[in-house]
């Protein structure tokens, strides 16, 4: 295991691996065993400088290629990722602890989708012609921003790197990407693959480190844009730090999203949606619908069906393809989840399922369901980022929507009902950037993804992302003499 997961070196700059072992050592721990599987060193100021200088130097020539040329490289990278899906999925599992059953279909594949989608779009990123009176006209030029910094969370290291790199590079930007210190391995492999696909040196660089490396990158004057995937507290810090220089930002932050199940819903589908929205990736998904509002009449039936289904969770070795529920990413995250479970019990919620550590090596905890949760309880207000579902009862639609919106977050929201008009009415009222009707947590690259309120700024994926990685220059062209007042 050690041989396959130890990277050649910690950083990837100008098309090659770079090391500076003066940087603090960061051990990579396999979440399923507690075993050390690799290490990297945090970027020193010299490494940060090297990466930013490389990205800055590479940007004009990269932007000067045609969109077709840039797109071809991104699409070639997508093909390489697909061809190496198993190897990349295994690395994702080692980096995060997520079951291979998931990573084989959700991570490298989603990264490849992004590279393919934005690779396809790159050639069509054109300006507009805007006619004016007397034959004058305005045209617009869609321009790259310059050097972009991407900063990742630990739950989807391959996907996050690709979701940021693909639109950034398609628009003619270059990028310095800092993965989470908890999962430093996957982004390096993406940098290797982009280089193999033909990305010139400096176009996509990876540097490792903790928050201070992220802070050094984001505040550098050469950086035009920062795209962060992380928690709301980190988002507030990064947003404030870059505001002074008016940099562009995308903030993909946390959530405490509502999933509303009406009594006319197809119960099995609703239970499936709640499972996907709480227990996929062991609950470590930003858009999870962790406040499940269930209409009173079906509450007990819902809880019963849910418990039956959870009995079928296969908890174990994530590299075994039968396993569908893995460990928490780290001991620290496990401790946070255990604290929230204890708090749920203390504050009077009913522990309806799970709640205990699984006795085996690694950071395993059972899928956990609390019933009789009320809005003021900590487990209904704060993002836990683990497999803990809070089930809350409600009487009617208006009450459900009001309570669903009573949160600082606004990432996602879902509704299960057979009533078409109600479904559309409810999602129209939800204060959330990404909504689902009769499903949960799908994130196709063709659709915008992102949050409102404290959950974020900007959108990833879809044509929307182009607006966040480019800006428009407007050029007025006069075809007539200039009339001046004197
Ligand atoms: P985190 O906020 O602790 O860290 C995120 C990243 O920011 C890490 O790479 C970290 O090193 C870096 N960072 C920390 N302080 C910084 C600073 N001052 N300046 C620059 N960078 C800094 O988040 P996490 O614990 O890694 O991930 C979990 C969080 O991410 C959850 O809140 C989850 O909801 C969120 N998330 C959001 C999305 C989304 O798309 N909306 C996706 C995945 C995860």
Q: Taking residues 396-419, what's their average pLDDT?
A: 98
CB distance 296 to 421 below 8 Å: no
Best residue among 234, 243, 407 to mutate for probing ligand 1, ranked by most atoms within 8 Å of CB? 234
CB distance 178 to 206 below 8 Å: yes
Q: How many A from CA of 315 to the centre of ligand 1?
A: 26
Q: How many A from CA of 390 to the centre of ligand 1?
A: 23
4 pLDDT above the threshold of 80? no
- 3-state secondary structure at position 13: strand
Q: Which of 11, 35, 30 is nearest to 21 (CA)?
A: 11
Q: Taking residues 275-282, what's their average pLDDT?
A: 98
**If pLDDT is split at 50, 70 and 90, which confidence band does 3 have?**
very low
148 classed as catalytic? no
Q: What is the pTM of this model?
A: 0.98
Residue 220 Cβ contacting ligand 1 at under 6 Å: no
Best residue among 40, 153, 232 to mutate for probing ligand 1, ranked by most atoms within 8 Å of CB? 153
Residue 153 Cβ contacting ligand 1 at under 6 Å: yes
**If pLDDT is split at 50, 70 and 90, which confidence band does 269 have?**
very high
408 pLDDT above the threshold of 50? yes
Q: Which of 148, 171, 186, 286 is catalytic?
A: 286
Determine the pLDDT at residue 126.
Answer: 95
Q: Which of 102, 148, 162, 164 is catalytic?
A: 164
Q: Taking residues 472-485, what's their average pLDDT?
A: 97
Q: Which of 252, 338, 383, 397 is catalytic?
A: 252
Round to whole Å and give the CA distance between 30 and 326.
Answer: 11
36 classed as catalytic? no
Q: What is the pLDDT of residues 190-210, one digit of tens each?
A: 999 999 999 999 999 999 999
Q: Please, what is the angle between helix 108-121 and helix 85-96, to 10°?
A: 120
The secondary structure of 317-343, three-state, reads CCCCCCCCECCCCCHHHHHHHHHHHHH
CB distance 388 to 340 below 8 Å: yes
Q: Taking residues 363-391, what's their average pLDDT?
A: 98
1 pLDDT above the threshold of 70? no
Around Cβ 350, how many Cβ atoms within 10 Å?
13
Q: Which residue has the tokens 């310095």?
A: 176
Residue 461 Cβ contacting ligand 1 at under 6 Å: no
**If pLDDT is split at 50, 70 and 90, which confidence band does 2 have?**
very low
Q: In the chain, pLDDT over 90 holds for what percent of residues? A: 99
Residue 103 Cβ contacting ligand 1 at under 6 Å: no
435 classed as catalytic? no
Round to whole Å and give the CA distance between 278 and 362.
Answer: 20
Q: What is the pLDDT of residues 156-195, one digit of tens each?
A: 999 999 999 999 999 999 999 999 999 999 999 999 999 9
Q: Which atom of ligand 1 is nearest to the CA of 232?
A: 32
Residue 338 Cβ contacting ligand 1 at under 6 Å: no
Q: Taking residues 436-447, what's their average pLDDT?
A: 98
Local structure of residue 387 (DSSP, 8 states): S
Q: What is the pLDDT of residues 22-57, one digit of tens each?
A: 999 999 999 999 999 999 999 999 999 999 999 999
Determine the pLDDT at residue 154.
Answer: 98
| β-bridge partners, 259 | 292, 414
Residue 411 Cβ contacting ligand 1 at under 6 Å: yes
At 237, phi and psi to the nearest 5? Answer: -65, -45
CB distance 466 to 121 below 8 Å: yes
CB distance 337 to 400 below 8 Å: no
Q: What angle do CA 387, 390, 394 make, to 5 degrees?
A: 155
Q: How many A from CA of 252 to the centre of ligand 1?
A: 8
Say if residue 276 is exposed, middle or buried (CB neighbours under 10 Å; 0-12, 13-18, 19+).
buried
Q: Whose CA is nearest to atom 41 of ligand 1?
A: 252
Local structure of residue 230 (DSSP, 8 states): S
Q: Which atom of ligand 1 is nearest to the CA of 209?
A: 11
300 pLDDT above the threshold of 80? yes
| β-bridge partners, 25 | 41
Beta-strand pair 147-151/137-144: unpaired
Residue 397 Cβ contacting ligand 1 at under 6 Å: no
């Amino acid at each position: 295991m050690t041989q396959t997961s130890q990277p050649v070196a910690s950083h990837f700059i100008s098309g090659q691996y770079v090391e500076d072992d003066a940087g603090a050592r960061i051990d990579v721990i396999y979440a399923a065993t507690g075993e050390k599987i690799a290490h990297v060193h945090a970027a020193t100021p010299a490494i940060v400088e090297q990466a930013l200088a490389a990205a800055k130097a590479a940007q004009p020539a990269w932007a000067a290629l045609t969109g077709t040329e840039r797109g071809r490289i991104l699409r070639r990278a997508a093909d390489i990722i697909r061809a190496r899906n198993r190897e990349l999925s295994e690395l994702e599992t080692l980096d995060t602890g997520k079951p291979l059953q998931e990573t084989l279909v959700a991570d490298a594949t989603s990264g490849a989708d992004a590279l393919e989608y934005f690779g396809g779009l790159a050639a069509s990123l054109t300006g507009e012609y805007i006619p004016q009176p007397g034959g004058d006209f305005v045209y617009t030029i869609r321009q790259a921003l310059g050097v972009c910094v991407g900063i990742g969370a630990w739950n989807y290291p391959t996907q996050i790197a690709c979701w940021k790199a693909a639109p950034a590079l398609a628009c003619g930007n270059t990028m310095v990407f800092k993965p989470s210190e908890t999962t430093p391995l996957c982004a390096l492999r993406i940098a290797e693959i982009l280089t193999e696909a033909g990305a010139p040196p400096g176009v996509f660089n990876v540097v490792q480190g903790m928050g201070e490396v992220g802070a050094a990158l984001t505040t550098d004057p050469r950086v035009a844009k920062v795209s962060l995937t992380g928690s709301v507290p980190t988002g507030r810090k990064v947003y404030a730090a870059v505001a002074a220089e008016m940099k562009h930002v995308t903030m993909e932050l946390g959530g405490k999203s509502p999933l509303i199940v009406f009594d006319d819903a197809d119960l099995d589908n609703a239970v499936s949606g709640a499972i996907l929205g709480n227990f996929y990736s062991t609950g470590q998904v930003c858009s999870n619908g962790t406040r499940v509002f269930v209409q009173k009449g079906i509450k007990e039936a819902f809880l019963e069906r849910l418990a039956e289904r959870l009995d079928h969770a296969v908890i174990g070795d994530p590299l075994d393809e039968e396993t569908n529920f893995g460990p928490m990413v780290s001991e620290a995250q496990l401790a946070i989840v255990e604290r929230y479970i204890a708090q749920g019990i203390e504050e009077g919620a009913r522990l309806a399922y799970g709640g205990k550590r699984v006795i085996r090596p690694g950071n395993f905890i059972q899928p956990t369901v609390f019933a009789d949760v009320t809005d003021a309880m900590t487990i209904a207000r704060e993002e836990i980022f683990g497999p803990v579902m809070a089930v809350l009862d409600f009487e009617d639609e208006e009450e459900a929507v009001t309570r669903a919106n009573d949160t600082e977050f606004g990432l996602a929201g879902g509704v299960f009902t057979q009533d078409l008009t109600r479904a559309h009415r409810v999602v129209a009222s939800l204060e959330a950037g990404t909504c689902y009707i009769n499903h949960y947590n799908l994130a196709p690259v063709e659709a915008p993804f992102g949050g409102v309120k404290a959950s974020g700024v900007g959108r990833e994926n879809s044509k929307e992302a182009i607006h966040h990685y480019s800006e428009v220059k407007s050029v007025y062209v006069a075809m007539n003499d200039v009339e001046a007042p004197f």
